[in-house]
């Protein structure tokens, strides 16, 4: 990957002979879409499927950028990461929430925040 022109935020790279340029800042927020050819294809780009990073508002891709054959978008699982302190006990308490962890059948123990130390179901 390399800087593109005068703007150091724009990155260019080549994938299977096609050149793509995008902003590194957008790379973290733009989704990656997966596509596959709608019919048998011996194209080196779409034959085994391919990925394209694009804005949500960009028009849907209907043909292979390399050979022009029809393509369809594949629905795949998102890549979700849990980095940071969102579920950290101190962060939970700081924002006024209480967190409980299941410790047995119908029994929950407090791990963060205010409230009873143990919550259990009444089994009369």
Give the separation between CA 100 and CA 1, rounded to whole angstroms. Answer: 46
Q: Are residues 16 and 65 in the same domain?
A: yes
- 105 domain residue, yes or no: yes
Number of domains in the chain: 2
What string of pLDDT tens digits covers the 124 residues of the chain?
344 444 444 444 455 555 555 554 445 556 788 899 998 878 888 888 888 888 878 888 899 888 989 999 988 777 666 666 667 788 888 888 999 999 988 899 999 999 999 998 864 4
- Shared-domain flag, residues 14 and 51: yes
The pair of three-digit structure tokens given for residue 29, joined into one six-digit string:
């927020």
Q: Identify whether residues 100 and 70 lie together within a single domain.
A: no
What's the DSSP call for residue 80? -
Pair (65, 38) in one structural domain: yes
54 and 29 in one domain? yes
CA dihedral over 80, 78, 65, 48, signed as positive or negative: positive
According to DSSP, residue 23 is labeled: E
Range of the domain at 114: 89-120
* Whole-structure pTM value: 0.44
| Same domain, residue pair 12 and 58 | yes
82 assigned to some structural domain:
no
């Amino acid at each position: 990957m390399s800087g593109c022109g005068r703007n150091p935020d724009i990155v260019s790279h080549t994938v299977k002979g096609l050149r793509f340029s995008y902003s590194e800042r957008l790379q973290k927020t733009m989704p990656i879409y997966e596509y596959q050819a709608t019919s048998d294809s011996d194209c080196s780009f779409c034959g085994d499927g391919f990925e394209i990073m694009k804005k949500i508002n960009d028009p849907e891709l209907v043909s292979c950028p390399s050979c022009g054959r029809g393509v369809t978008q594949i629905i795949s699982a998102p890549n979700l990461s849990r980095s940071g302190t969102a579920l950290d006990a101190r962060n939970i308490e700081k924002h006024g929430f209480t967190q409980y962890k299941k410790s047995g059948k119908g029994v929950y123990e407090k791990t963060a925040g205010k409230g009873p130390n143990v919550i259990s179901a009444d089994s009369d």
